[in-house]
Homo-oligomer: A and B are copies of this chain.
């Protein structure tokens, strides 16, 4: 392999690729990046065996070839180089990089030993607006279940129906659902569970990119492909295994009505929940109280060691069945939900002391966040 590439181009690719190459002790080659020439492209590849990333740069090839080298040292090193042309050459499993006054040799391993990233044979794809898709993922991705006891809850559920995609995540204490409406209808219906790590990396790598992404699906893999701007050649491919199992039918959990709906200024609500949280102690418990005497909520936190905080926040109440209520919440769950609501006002729907509450951005039906109260036993 012998080629010339601009530092900035190599650096852009390495920044993306090295997100996956980690400290893998059992299979050291996974700490490496695979560099391969393909016609007039340099292809960079990394994988942790569940998630693979490929990146292509247009370069000046003098001799085809390939090598794998440690991700950490290559990306750390290239990052520090001046923004000039780099000469890359492989000799005897060593990658030589020359750049102005720098002459560097990085020891590599044989490209043959690098694991093969699976490809998807299916030629059908769905095209999506990249930034809207990433924003949607970002609004739910934090709420997957952490444990492996119910693997199907450890990922983000994507449900693709004719004119929409529903993105859902839940850890059974709270549930977030975002609906993306598609401009072009899709023929088939699909649904699959994307590992949380893949979902996070999609957001990290693709958020705010302007071109559309293509989504290719196979029974147990998904491929997201982002094109080189103004070409049809891929620039980035993110290939991930899917989580097996059936996602629970969660629609029954989302309340269809409410006992009281309060419209609040989001930032004030968020701030007062945070203030109360300081007095919540180890239980993280704060109380939300409403009564017909007042248009708004009272927030209360008490702790025998520290003291207490009471605050009130004005807001219009639409009453359902009930007329008075005190509901206990884990303040963290309220904070998490409010941080994912983008509108200036939020609708907070309560369903009694034990029924699920809902946060909804005002004027935007595409997002909802269900949160279970702390049961008072």
Q: Which residues of A contact B (CB under 8 A)?
A: 70, 73, 76-77, 80-81, 94-95, 101-107, 271-272, 274-275, 278-279, 305-313
Contact = CB atoms under 8 A, between A and B. Distances in A.
Contacts of A311: 101-103
Nearest to A312: B101
A272 B104 CA distance: 12
A80 B308 contact: no
Specify how many copies of this chain sit in the oligomer: 2
A307 to B, nearest CB: 4
Contacts of A306: 70, 73, 106-107
A107 B307 contact: yes
Contacts of A73: 278-279, 306-307
Contacts of A102: 272, 275, 309-311
A308 B77 CA distance: 11
A23 to B, nearest CB: 15
A275 B79 CA distance: 9
Contacts of A274: 80
A305 B80 CA distance: 21
A278 B307 CA distance: 52
Nearest to A108: B307
Contacts of A309: 77, 102-105
19 contacts: A73-B307, A77-B275, A77-B278, A77-B279, A77-B309, A81-B275, A94-B307, A95-B307, A101-B272, A101-B312, A101-B313, A102-B272, A102-B275, A103-B310, A104-B309, A105-B307, A105-B309, A106-B307, A107-B307
Given A103-B311, A104-B309, 16 more contacts: A73-B306, A73-B307, A77-B279, A80-B271, A80-B275, A101-B272, A101-B312, A102-B272, A102-B275, A102-B310, A102-B311, A104-B279, A104-B307, A104-B308, A106-B307, A107-B306
A343 B70 CA distance: 36
A310 B107 contact: no
Contacts of A310: 102-104
Contacts of A275: 77, 80-81, 102
Contacts of A101: 272, 311-313
A310 B77 CA distance: 12
Most B CB contacts (10 A, CB to CB) among A70, A76, A80 go to A80
Nearest to A103: B310
3 nearest CB pairs, A to B? A105-B307, A106-B307, A102-B311
Contacts of A278: 73, 76-77, 80
